[in-house]
């Protein structure tokens, strides 16, 4: 039985799927973070009348370095994909907890926005885990 580390799989054809999933995640994270930073006030009002703009700004500021980290992982270090997938799963759980615990704080459109964004992040996590699985074969 032959075992290979992720580093030896960097140029393996099966690494392309994982790399593309990470790149898509990075792009989504960077664009979302940028939108949250640039338009934190309007986005906060869209989410709900009681949502402070600074909270959207803080989330956006957190998404920017995350997006850079994911992009670098796609380019250089596929070993980080497991950690990134775990962080994505934590985001999804946190999003649904936020909805469950603060349901009345959000507009209907805000609830949909949070839910759909969580679903997109869940999709990235699933694709990344599939990519990792392919590397192990």
pLDDT tens, position by position, 87-128: 999 999 999 999 999 999 999 999 999 999 999 999 999 999
Spacing of C-alpha 118 from chain mean position: 8
Better-scored residue on pLDDT, 14 or 72: 72
Q: How many domains does the chain have?
A: 1
Please report whether residue 2 resides in a domain.
no
Please report whether residue 8 resides in a domain.
no
Burial class (CB in 10 A: 0-12, 13-18, 19+), 126: middle
Please report whether residue 101 resides in a domain.
yes
pLDDT in tens, 43-71: 999 999 999 999 999 999 999 999 999 99
Please report whether residue 65 resides in a domain.
yes
DSSP string, 95-111: HHHHHHHSGGGS-HHHH
Task: With cut-offs at 50, 70 and 90, classify the pLDDT of residue 10.
Answer: low
CA distance 95 to 80: 22
Please report whether residue 3 resides in a domain.
no
Please report whether residue 85 resides in a domain.
yes
Please report whether residue 57 resides in a domain.
yes
- pTM of the entire structure? 0.88
Please report whether residue 49 resides in a domain.
yes
Which domain covers residue 82, as residue numbers? 13-136
């Amino acid at each position: 039985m032959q075992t290979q580390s992720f580093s030896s799989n960097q140029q393996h054809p099966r690494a392309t799927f994982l790399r593309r999933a990470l790149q898509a995640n990075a792009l989504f994270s960077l664009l979302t973070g940028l939108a949250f930073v640039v338009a934190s006030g309007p986005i906060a009002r869209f989410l709900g009348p009681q949502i402070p703009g600074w909270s959207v700004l803080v989330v956006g500021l957190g998404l920017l370095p995350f997006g850079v980290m994911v992009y670098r992982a796609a380019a250089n270090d596929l070993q980080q994909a497991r950690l990134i997938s775990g962080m994505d799963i934590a985001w999804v759980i946190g999003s649904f907890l936020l909805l469950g615990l603060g349901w009345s704080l959000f507009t209907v459109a805000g609830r949909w926005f949070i839910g759909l964004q969580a679903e997109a992040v869940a999709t990235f996590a699933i694709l990344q885990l599939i990519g990792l699985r392919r590397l192990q074969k």
